[in-house]
Amino acid sequence: MDPLALTLIELGAVVFCLGLLARLAGRIGMSPIPLYLVGGLFFGAGGLVKLEGMHEFAHLSGEIGVILLLLMLGLEYTASELVTGLRRSWQAGVLDLLLNFLPGAGLALMLGWGVVGAMVMGGVTYISSSGIAAKVITDLGRIGNRETPVVLSILVFEDLAMAVYLPVLTATLAGVSFLLGLQTVGISLAVVSLVLVVALRHGHHVSKAVHSENSEVFLLNLLGAALLVAGLAAAMQVSAAVGAFMLGIAISGATAHSATRVLEPLRDLFAALFFVVFGLNTDPRSIPPVLGWALLLALVTAATKMVTGYWAAKRAGIGIPGRYRAGAALIARGEFSIVIAGLAVASGVVPADLAALATAYVLIMAIAGPLAARFVEPLVRLLRRPVRRPAFRTSGPA
Amino acid sequence: MNVDETDLPGLGRRKDFMTASGRRIGVVEYREGQTELIVSTWDDPDTCQASVPLTADEAAALGNLLGGQRIAMQLSEAHREIPGIVTRQFSISAESPFQNQPMGKACIRTRSGVSIVAIMREGEVLPSPGPDVVLHPGDLLVAVGTQEGLDTAAGILRNG
């Protein structure tokens, strides 16, 4: 068959299947990410169906998917929100980092994957899925709840931590010497601070440069700028993802909101392809051997996120049910864990088992996270003594 | 009254306060401009029993209802000494024949003897409105008059 025809047929079939999976996910009220991963496993190396024709395109699409995911993560919060979030919740953020980075890193060391593997797995277990968390909070009608700002500011902190973590990870994966690594990290820290200052003081200039009333012009400007910045960042060894993320932070105000709207469909498409490509490159036969470890890691890191949320909510003066709700909302891991594992796998310096472990872990956490968030409240209610309804206070003759 | 304002990074802003009956009530204002009315449950002030999305018109109408109630209460307090004088509120519905018309066109005072002493609109008060004030759907008119006069005025505003 004509190679172009083959590519188109394969791509069409895959995207169509993703549509069916996304619809199924919506029907049962879960995140589509685990289903995309399973879809990728199904099609990929060692899977049931082999797809050769679309490999090149899918690979590039996956890269664009990562760039768009990070660009939109940057767009999600304004620079001032990041700064106030950092100021207000750094203690909770540091606790979150310690409690959730260490289990992943520890397991990687135990399995003999070395410092690089530890660095990667720590990141995979650390970062909550802000996408799943936000959706869970909205779906369960908890936006007006008092613990929600606590959850959101922890997510904001993780967001900032990513800006430091990703360059460090890229340097580690590239296997550069300690000194050169420090230099890379120094450069990226300087760039992060510079971008924050620029975004705070002159964010409107950056916004103005890409903004347009015409949504077509706006989309092309945005996408062009994102790919350019990402490419330049990659050329400077800072990781394309970080470049896109920084651009997202620098764009602010009304432009950021309309950018989110314009980019959302593109992000959905390319990010879905990214998850599929990640699944494609993972051999499904490598998952059963690591499933036990993944389950253990899932249990431990669900508990550590719970502790993080509980502690942060308690500090904010939230009652006991709200503390559990805050913890449970943070449990889900998703897109960014896969982004981290994907960067590691692409560099080829981590064992193949790592991809399998990360896949199994995210599959569990992306499904268990929303379930935990939903059922934590009735569970806490059940375990605590029932409270009697107070008599309604009225004044005057009733 | 102490209204708490809390940033919701990535979403918007929450403004709420604790009522004397121990429930938290307020609004969430989204970055995209929607408003949601939130009411906490009776046993856990941290959680929400209801979050009701409101359009701009609905939010303004609700603000008028609550604000209008207060003005009406103050007015009836003031008129208590005068027997036969009653205060009542009329809302201008989208079906009212006088929506988007100057108030003078309804000739309420001439036809019923009732005075419109204030109009509540989008949470603000227009005191002693003149006949050329244009009525909008969602407006709340605060009227003072006799019981029969007010009944007549209600009929005028509804049916023309």
Q: Write down the pLDDT at residue A397.
A: 42
Look at A217 and B87; give whichever has higher pLDDT: A217
Q: What average pLDDT does this structure show over A12-22?
A: 89
In the predicted model, is pLDDT for residue A328 greater than 90? yes
Q: What average pLDDT does this structure show over A246-262?
A: 83
Q: Is A22 exposed, middle or buried (0-12, 13-18, 19+ CB in 10 A)?
A: middle
Q: Write down the pLDDT at residue A118.
A: 93
* Dihedral sign for Cα atoms in the order A167, A235, A65, A39: negative
In the predicted model, is pLDDT for residue B94 greater than 60? yes
What lies within 8 Å, CB to CB, of A187 at 6+ separation is A167, A236, A238
Reduced to 3 states (helix: H, G, I; strand: E, B; else coil), residue A14 is helix
Please, what is the average pLDDT of chain A? Answer: 84
| Cα of B79 to nearest chain A Cα, Å | 22
Q: Write down the pLDDT at residue A27.
A: 87
Report residue A223's pLDDT band, with 50, 70 and 90 as the boundaries. Answer: very high
Nearest CA in chain B to A77: B10
Reduced to 3 states (helix: H, G, I; strand: E, B; else coil), residue B8 is strand
d(CA A278, CA A301): 22
**How confident is the model over A379-396, as pLDDT tens digits?**
888 887 655 555 454 444
Q: What is the DSSP string of B85-145?
A: -EEEEEE--TT-TTTTSBGGGG-HHHHH--EEEEEEETTEEEES--TTPBP-TT-EEEEEE
Q: What average pLDDT does this structure show over B88-105?
A: 85
In the predicted model, is pLDDT for residue A237 greater than 80? no
Q: Is A156 on the interface with B (CB under 8 A)?
A: yes
In the predicted model, is pLDDT for residue A32 greater than 80? yes
Q: What ipTM goes with this model?
A: 0.71
Q: Write down the pLDDT at residue A396.
A: 42
Q: Write down the pLDDT at residue A96.
A: 95
Q: Write down the pLDDT at residue A398.
A: 37
Q: Write down the pLDDT at residue A50.
A: 64
In the predicted model, is pLDDT for residue B112 greater than 80? yes
Q: What average pLDDT does this structure show over A68-72?
A: 89
Look at A176 and A330; give whichever has higher pLDDT: A330
Q: Write down the pLDDT at residue A46.
A: 59
Cα B77 to the center of its chain, rounded Å: 19
Q: What pTM, to 2 d.p., does this model score?
A: 0.77
In A, residues 221-280, which contact B (CB 8 Å cutoff)?
A: 257
Q: Which of A128-137, A380-389, B12-21 has the lowest mean pLDDT?
A: A380-389
Report residue B121's pLDDT band, with 50, 70 and 90 as the boundaries. Answer: confident
Q: Write down the pLDDT at residue A394.
A: 46
Binary contact (A146, B46; C-beta < 8 A):
yes
Q: What average pLDDT does this structure show over A31-53?
A: 75
Reduced to 3 states (helix: H, G, I; strand: E, B; else coil), residue A319 is coil
Q: Is B6 on the interface with A (CB under 8 A)?
A: yes
| Candidate from B16, B46, B51 with C-beta closest to A147 | B46
Q: Is B29 on the interface with A (CB under 8 A)?
A: no
Q: What average pLDDT does this structure show over A234-260?
A: 81
Binary contact (B8, A134; C-beta < 8 A):
no
Say how many residues make up chain A. 398
Please, what is the average pLDDT of chain B? Answer: 84
d(CA A186, CA A4): 45
In the predicted model, is pLDDT for residue A374 greater than 50? yes
Which letter does DSSP use for residue A252 in this model? -
For B28, the enclosing helix (H) or strand (E) is: strand B24-30
Q: What average pLDDT does this structure show over A267-274?
A: 90
Which letter does DSSP use for residue A396 in this model? S
Chain B residue numbers with beta carbons less than 8 Å from the beta carbon of A134 are 10-11
Q: What is the DSSP string of A331-345?
A: ----HHHHHHHHHHH
- Could you tell me what percent of chain A has a pLDDT over 90? 26
d(CA A243, CA A250): 11
